[in-house]
Structure 1
Amino acid sequence: MNYRYRSSEAQQELSERLLAEATLACESAKEIVKTNKKETDHRLLEKLNDIEFRKGELLRIRKDTVLEIDALSVYKERITDVLKSVKRNALEICEKCLIARKCRLSIDLVYDDVETNLLKEREVIQGAENLVDRILRKTYEQIRKLKATLYCIDHDLENKENNLHIDRRNVTLKETDFNLNIYHGTSPLDKSYVTLLRSIKFIYKRTVKHRVVKLNEWELQTNSNVIDANKEMNSAKQLRCYIDTIIKETIDELNNQKDVTNKAFRQRIEQTREAKTKLELQHSETIKQVTAMLNNITHIKKSIAEKEGYMALAHTRLGHRCQRPGIEHTQDLVEVNLVKEIHELRNVVANLQRMLYEAEASLRYLLKTQIQLEEDINVKTNTLKIDEVECMTLRQSMDYRAY
């Protein structure tokens, strides 16, 4: 009996102790679970805030990147317009001027200051074309890099949005909710296995890896995207400043060379016009001299013709007096005077003939000079037509502008 009594008391004590331990264990477990859930909820909220912050940073940098792409696209159009203006307008006009001036004639077909400046202008235009073309290629490349960066940001934003969706759902879950699942696998739960789509720097390469993503890698990816975007935007801004400088310097150089060439054209046109005016005055004087010489020749010929009558009269009289009979055929003063008259008439006619020959020779020289002057005037007229009418008219359409 005593044994049973003591055994009963022992079992009661054990039962009371177990009840107390169980109650304590349940209370302790309840506290631990609540604490863990609270900690997890806090961590989830922290994570959500972190993701929201990083998403905001990505959205901000994305906006700046899009604005920079738009700005650089505008600069690309400016460069394209400048290149078209230089290539299709300026270079073509310069080449046409060089070709037109090859049609100059005679002495005007020389290598003058205008030719020198036209060749230099062509060299300047070709250099500007090459420089602007290189900048255009750099602009295209920078836009491509910005778009590649934008692609990485968009992909990161998509991941962040998905992550937010998942963790926001996790925050709203409660232990009393339906459709909760318990993991029954054998793999350790100390790590999270996720699928990571890592975006490389270029759009064309994607690498999908199934591995564990460490927290610092997750942070570094967003930081890397932000840093890369800032780097490319800084490069784009520097490129835009460089484009502004280059366009201004290029347009200034082209305008300066155009002004120098136009000045050489104007000076050459003025010299040609002055030479043409002098030639025209000389031509006018030559025509006057030709007219005067023609009148002189006519007068000399008329004078010679008049002397032929006097000569015939003297010879006729002398012949008649040779028919005098006998002693009347004497060498008297009349005969002496007739012989003297004939000799003097011959001398006068010979002098007039000599003057006529000289006048005719002078007329031939004057006519030759007149023809040469007319040829020279035609040469100057042709040069003025080429330089003033053709070339300068073409060059009026040369328009260099910093678009």
Structure 2
Amino acid sequence: MSMNKIHTKLKDNACIVFPPPPSRFTLAEWHLQNKFRNRICFDQQTLADSVNAECERITEEIAERTLTNKLDTDHKLHEKLTDIKFVGDEIRIQRKEVVMEVDALLVYMERIKHSLDNLKQNAEVICKKCLICREGRLGIDLCHDEIEDDLKKEIDVIQGAQNMLRRALEMANEQVRRLRSTIYFMDRDLENKDNVLKIDETNCSLKHTSMHLSMYHGFAPLDSSTITLEEWSLYTQENLDNAAKEINSARQLRSYIEILLTQAIEDLKEQYDLTNAAFTKRIEEIKETKMKLEIQHAEIVRQANEMTRTITRLEISIAEKEGFMALAHTRLGNRCQRAGVELCKDMVELSLSNEVSELRGNLSRLQHMIAEAQASLRYLLKTQIQLEEDINIKTNTLKIDEVDCMTLRQAMDYHAY
């Protein structure tokens, strides 16, 4: 019964666990433990001092390196800005020369176009008009002469000059296109360099204490550059070299065009003078021939008038001789009325017979002469008409060559286009 009561009480009350009694150390162990703790504290203090010193050294070193790197970067940024500004100035100077060459070539192209228009609408048209006008010559004057050869040759020279100028115009147009292409690439290069200049100037103005700085937490590398410095320099230098090459080509082309225009003008003027000389020579020849024809015409007119007077005198002479013939016949008829032995051939009869015979012979000669004179007069009048036609032909030719053609040719203007 007592046992059950004890058991019940333990069951009803909380259990209390008592720890085991602590270990017991010796005094030596206590002193050793204290020395060990002191040793550990000293070592930790020494290590901490070393770490602090190393941290301070590394901090100062990193700060110095950081500042050095920043200063070096700033220096390189300033150098890059200087390089970009220098290269940009070089490109602008070269671009200005390219633009000047474009303007100069455009002026030369206008000169070529003006010369082409003048040759096509003035010189060539005038030469062709002269050829057409000379088709209006008449008769024997419508011949193939030196003027026609020189006019055709002048047209060939004009057309040859036009072909050369057209080729020069095409070359100039192509050169202008290449120069403008060079300007385009230089403008793009300048635009890129101006953009870089703004970016790097902004970078130069930034400090580590500036506002709105940000850290990059992306995965792509910040250094996305794929062009090397050598490639960058080579690209710009190629632009400058190409611009210099195109400028040199443009200047050579302008010199060629200047020489071409000068030579074309000289050739055209030379042929123009030759054609004018042929006109002058031919005009003088026609004038001389016309003057000779006029002299001959005057002489023919004089001879025709003289022949007319001669025929008149012959007719008068024949009329007079017919009176003498009638007189002799009347006398012979009257003497036939003699009677008997009185009807004899006396000296009067013989004289009258001889007179009648001689008058008949003389009348026959006079009639023959008047026939010849009339035939000669007809030939003279025919020759006079032919001479008048020839003179009119020469007058028409002179009008065409001296008045029409030479007046037209005065409008031909060859000058330094």
What's the TM-score bracket when you normalise by the shorter of the two chains? over 0.9
Equivalence for 1:396: 410
Q: How far has the Cα of 1:238 moved from its partner?
A: 0.5
1:73 aligns with 2:87: no
Q: For 2:230, which of 205, 216, 220 is the aligned residue?
A: 216
Q: How far has the Cα of 1:327 moved from its partner?
A: 3.6
**Could you say what secondary structure the match of 1:103 adopts?**
coil
Equivalence for 2:116: 83
1:257 aligns with 2:289: no
Q: For 2:369, which of 332, 355, 364 is the aligned residue?
A: 355
Mapping of residues 1-80 of structure 1, within 5 Å: 1-80=34-113
1:269 aligns with 2:283: yes
Instruction: Indicate if the aligned counterparts of 1:300 and 1:352 stay in contact, CA closer than 8 A.
Output: yes
Equivalence for 1:199: none
Q: Which amino acid aligns with 2:383?
A: T
**How many angstroms apart in 1 are the aligned matches of 2:37 and 2:307?**
178
1:115 aligns with 2:148: yes
Q: How far has the Cα of 1:2 moved from its partner?
A: 2.6
1:248 aligns with 2:281: no
**How many angstroms apart in 2 are the aligned matches of 1:71 and 1:289?**
75
Between 244-253 and 322-331, report the one with greater CA deviation: 322-331
Q: For 2:242, which of 219, 228, 234 is the aligned residue?
A: 228
Tell me the alpha carbon deviations over residues 72-118 of structure 1, each in whole angstroms, 9 at most, x when there is no partner: 11111111122122221111111111222222222222222212211
**Could you say what secondary structure the match of 1:32 adopts?**
helix
Q: Which amino acid aligns with 1:119?
A: K
**Could you say what secondary structure the match of 1:330 adopts?**
coil
**How many angstroms apart in 2 are the aligned matches of 1:331 and 1:21?**
194
Mapping of residues 171-182 of structure 1, within 5 Å: 171-182=204-215
Between 301-310 and 5-14, report the one with greater CA deviation: 5-14
Equivalence for 2:386: 372
Tell me the alpha carbon deviations over residues 3-50 of structure 1, each in whole angstroms, 9 at most, x when there is no partner: 322222222222222222222221122111111111111111111111
Between 22-31 and 151-160, report the one with greater CA deviation: 22-31
**How many angstroms apart in 2 are the aligned matches of 1:188 and 1:68?**
45
Equivalence for 1:287: 301
**How many angstroms apart in 1 are the aligned matches of 2:113 and 2:259?**
16
**How many angstroms apart in 1 are the aligned matches of 2:152 and 2:170?**
27
Between 2-11 and 146-155, report the one with greater CA deviation: 2-11
**How many angstroms apart in 2 are the aligned matches of 1:311 and 1:273?**
55
Between 8-17 and 295-304, report the one with greater CA deviation: 8-17
**How many angstroms apart in 1 are the aligned matches of 2:60 and 2:270?**
93
Q: Which amino acid aligns with 1:357?
A: A
**Could you say what secondary structure the match of 1:63 adopts?**
helix
Q: Which amino acid aligns with 1:34?
A: L
Q: How far has the Cα of 1:362 moved from its partner?
A: 0.7
**How many angstroms apart in 2 are the aligned matches of 1:2 and 1:334?**
218
Runs (5+) with no aligned partner, structure 1: 194-211
**How many angstroms apart in 2 are the aligned matches of 1:402 and 1:79?**
11
Tell me the alpha carbon deviations over residues 147-176 of structure 1, each in whole angstroms, 9 at most, x when there is no partner: 110111111111111100000000010111
Equivalence for 1:192: 224
TM-score by length of 2: 0.89
TM-score by length of 1: 0.92
Instruction: Indicate if the aligned counterparts of 1:293 and 1:363 stay in contact, CA closer than 8 A.
Output: yes
**Could you say what secondary structure the match of 2:305 adopts?**
helix
**How many angstroms apart in 1 are the aligned matches of 2:288 and 2:234?**
79
Equivalence for 2:357: 343
Q: Which amino acid aligns with 1:138?
A: M
**How many angstroms apart in 1 are the aligned matches of 2:340 and 2:44?**
219
Q: How far has the Cα of 1:337 moved from its partner?
A: 2.1
**How many angstroms apart in 2 are the aligned matches of 1:270 and 1:68?**
52
1:328 aligns with 2:328: no
Q: Which amino acid aligns with 1:261?
A: T
**How many angstroms apart in 2 are the aligned matches of 1:128 and 1:97?**
20
**How many angstroms apart in 1 are the aligned matches of 2:342 and 2:62?**
192
Q: How far has the Cα of 1:402 moved from its partner?
A: 1.5
Tell me the alpha carbon deviations over residues 227-255 of structure 1, each in whole angstroms, 9 at most, x when there is no partner: 01000000000011111111111111111
Q: For 2:161, which of 128, 131, 134 is the aligned residue?
A: 128
Q: Which amino acid aligns with 1:147?
A: R
Highest CA radius of gyration, 1 or 2?
A: 2
Instruction: Indicate if the aligned counterparts of 1:98 and 1:118 stay in contact, CA closer than 8 A.
Output: yes
**How many angstroms apart in 2 are the aligned matches of 1:192 and 1:173?**
21
1:96 aligns with 2:129: yes
**How many angstroms apart in 2 are the aligned matches of 1:116 and 1:220?**
61
1:149 aligns with 2:182: yes
**How many angstroms apart in 2 are the aligned matches of 1:28 and 1:152?**
47
**How many angstroms apart in 1 are the aligned matches of 2:90 and 2:50?**
59
Instruction: Indicate if the aligned counterparts of 1:82 and 1:401 stay in contact, CA closer than 8 A.
Output: no
Instruction: Indicate if the aligned counterparts of 1:322 and 1:329 stay in contact, CA closer than 8 A.
Output: yes
Equivalence for 1:137: 170
**How many angstroms apart in 2 are the aligned matches of 1:278 and 1:240?**
56
